[in-house]
């Protein structure tokens, strides 16, 4: 099953891309409303993460030999 994005106009849904199905194929449509504000917030957080990645905490060992000294 593939997900398609589209816009509802009355009782018609206009899809952004053409589905790979024969004409007049019956289908079940499930609608999920897209929250534009939430979507923009997620994109902003992803971009912030890419600019300032978390390195998993402080560096415990600078050299491999320090690991064996403990």
Residue 6: CB atoms within 10 Å: 13
Residue 1 lies in a domain: no
Question: How many domains does one find in the chain?
Answer: 1
What is Dmax (Cα atoms) for the chain? 72
Per-residue pLDDT at 6: 92
CA-CA-CA-CA torsion sign (43, 44, 45, 49)? positive
* Cα distance between residue 36 and residue 44, in whole Å: 12
Residue 35 lies in a domain: yes
Residue 26 lies in a domain: yes
Domain that holds residue 47: 6-69
pTM of the complete model: 0.45
The pLDDT tens digits for 12-46 are 999 999 998 999 999 998 888 887 778 788 888 88
Residue 62 lies in a domain: yes
């Amino acid at each position: 099953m593939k997900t398609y994005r589209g816009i509802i106009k009355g009782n018609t849904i206009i899809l952004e891309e053409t589905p790979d199905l024969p004409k007049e194929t019956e289908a079940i449509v499930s609608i999920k409303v897209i929250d534009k504000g939430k979507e923009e917030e997620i994109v902003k957080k992803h971009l912030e993460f890419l600019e300032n990645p978390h390195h998993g905490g402080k560096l415990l060992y600078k050299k491999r030999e320090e690991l064996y000294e403990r």
